[in-house]
Amino acid sequence: METNHKILFQNANNLHQIKDNSIALMITSPPYPMIEMWDGMFSEQNSEIKEALNNKDGSNAFELMNQELDKVWNEVYRVLIPGGIACINIGDATRTIGGNFQLFSSSTRIMNHCLKAGFNALPKILWKKTTNAPNKFMGSGMLPPGAYVTLEHEYILILRKGGKREFTKPHEKKNRQESAFFWEERNIWFTDIWEGLNGVIQKLNDEKIRGRSAAYPFELAYRLINMFSVKGDTVLDPYFGTGTTMLSAMASARNSIGVEIDSNFKDTIIDRTKAIIDYANAINKKRIQQHLEFVKKREAEKGPLKYNHEKYDFKVMTRQDNSLILHDLVSCEQTSDNEFKVNYASNSKEVNGSVTMSSRESNRETSINKREFLEVSQIEQKAGRLNASSLHNFF
C-alpha cells in the first residue's frame, strides 16, 4: 500500500490545481480573525483591513478578514466530493478596539458563510483547552460587572457537502470496513466535548515562522481523519503550517495535499517527516495496547466478548470493528521538492508485526510476537521529535 502527499506553497483562495469533487476530507485551522498575531497576514491580503484597524473599526476589520477566509471555504466546497466532510478548528476572539472590549465570534461567522455556500452543518465539537495560568482572568478582577468570562475552548465545525457518502462497490465496502475504529474509541471520539488534547507549543528555531504558527495537536487531526475518511482518501489542509495534518494522514494511510502561503515553513515540515515512521507505528501499538486493556477490563466486569477479530487473534465488541486493519509505515520518501511517498507493510495479519490475543489463555493476557510494545516514555520521546503533545492520554 502506498500514499502520496503534496505541498502547494501558495494562497489557498485559488486551488485551480485541485480538481472538482476530488477531496474526501478537509481539516484545517485558519488564521483567527481579530487575533493580533494574524493582523499582518490578513492586511497583506487586503490593505483595507489595515486601514480599518488603524481607524479602530473592529467590526469592519473582522468582516474583511472573514471575507478572505470565505474565498478558501468556497474553494473547499468545490473540491470536496459529494458527501465529503470539512472540519474547521476555530476559536472566537476577544479584543479591545478603540477602548471597547468585545467578542468577535469567528465560529458563527464562518458557519453562516459555509451554510450559504451550500454546506450542511453536522454536530460540532467543543475542544476544551486546559488553562491553568493564574493571570488568565480578564477585566476588573473581582469587581462586577466589569470582569469578563475567559475563553477556554475552541470549536471544531463539521460540515458536509450534500448528503451521506455512499459506498456501493464491493471494494469500497471492504475498504470502509478495514478503515473502522474500535468500539471504545468511537465512544470517546464521537462525543461533542473533547478534553485532554492540549495545544502544541511549537519549538521553532526559525524566527521567520515562530510568530506565524498555531498548530493544533496531532491527536486532533488524527482522530478527525479516522472518523471522517477511509484509507486511500485524500485529505486537504488549506492552512498547512508545520504539516500536522499531513503527518496524521501518513499515520492513517490517507493521501494528503497541504496548501501554505508561507514557504518559510518548508524546512520544518521536511524535518517533521523524518520521525513519522517510528511515531506512527508507536501510535498503532498504543491503540492495540489500549484495546487489549479494554477487553481485559470489560470481560472481567461483564463476561466474554462475543466477536473475534477476523485477522488478529483478539476479541472486539461488534461486527463492525472486527475487520479494521492498522498499517505499519515502512518508508517515507521525499520524491520531489514538495512531494512525499509513504509505503506500508503488506502483511495485514500483523499489527506492527507484534500483536496477538490468545483466546486459549484463560487469564486473557496478551501474547506478543516479535517485539514488545513501546513504553509510554519511548512514545513520548518520538512525540517530541514531531513537536506533538504527550501520548500518555492519547485517547
Least confident segment among 16-20, 28-32, 380-384: 380-384
- 289 or 143: whose pLDDT is higher? 289
pLDDT band at residue 310 under the 50/70/90 scheme = confident
pLDDT on residue 214 = 54
Give SS3 for 155: strand
For the cut 60, the answer to whether the pLDDT of residue 28 exceeds it is yes
What pLDDT digit, counting tens, does each position of 333-387 carry?
999 999 999 999 975 444 444 444 333 333 333 333 333 334 444 444 554 545 4
What pLDDT digit, counting tens, does each position of 180-239 carry?
999 999 999 999 999 988 644 344 344 443 344 457 899 999 999 999 999 999 999 999
State what percent of residues in the chain have pLDDT above 70. Answer: 81
Residues 15, 21, 27, 33, CA torsion sign: positive
Grid cell listed for 263:
514557504
Phi first, then psi, for residue 93 (nearest 5°) are -125, 145
- Angle of helix 376-385 relative to helix 276-302, nearest 10 degrees, comes to 140
Give the bridge partners for 139, in sequence order: 147
pLDDT band at residue 268 under the 50/70/90 scheme = very high
Residues in the chain: 395
pLDDT on residue 228 = 98
Nearest Cα residue to 1 out of 167, 170, 178: 178
- Distance separating alpha carbons of residues 229 and 24, to the nearest angstrom: 7
Nearest Cα residue to 122 out of 159, 84, 90, 88: 159
**Residue ranges matching CATH 3.40.50.150 in the chain:** 2-273
Task: Name, in order, each residue with C-beta under 8 angstroms of 214's C-beta and a sequence gap of 6 or more.
Answer: 29, 32, 37, 199, 241
Question: What's the mean pLDDT when you consider all of the chain?
Answer: 86
What pLDDT digit, counting tens, does each position of 41-97 carry?
999 999 999 999 999 999 999 999 999 999 999 999 999 999 999 999 999 999 999
Report how far apart the first and last C-alpha atoms of the chain are (Å, whole number): 26
Angle value at C-alpha 114, between 110 and 118, nearest 5 degrees: 175
Q: Buried (b) or exposed (e) across 196-223, using 16+ Cβ within 10 A?
A: bbebbebebeeeebeebbbbbbbbbbbb
pLDDT band at residue 176 under the 50/70/90 scheme = very high
**DSSP strand pairing (153-161 vs 80-90):** antiparallel
* pTM passes above 0.85: yes
Query: Once rounded to an integer, what is the mean pLDDT over residues 7-36?
Result: 97
Give SS3 for 140: coil
Give the bridge partners for 96, in sequence order: 101
Look up the CATH superfamily of 2-273: Vaccinia Virus protein VP39 (3.40.50.150)
Alpha helices (H) along the chain: 39-45, 47-54, 58-79, 106-117, 170-178, 183-189, 207-210, 218-228, 244-251, 266-273, 276-302, 376-385
What pLDDT digit, counting tens, does each position of 97-136 carry?
999 999 999 999 999 999 999 999 999 999 998 655 555 6
Query: Once rounded to an integer, what is the mean pLDDT over residues 259-274?
Result: 94
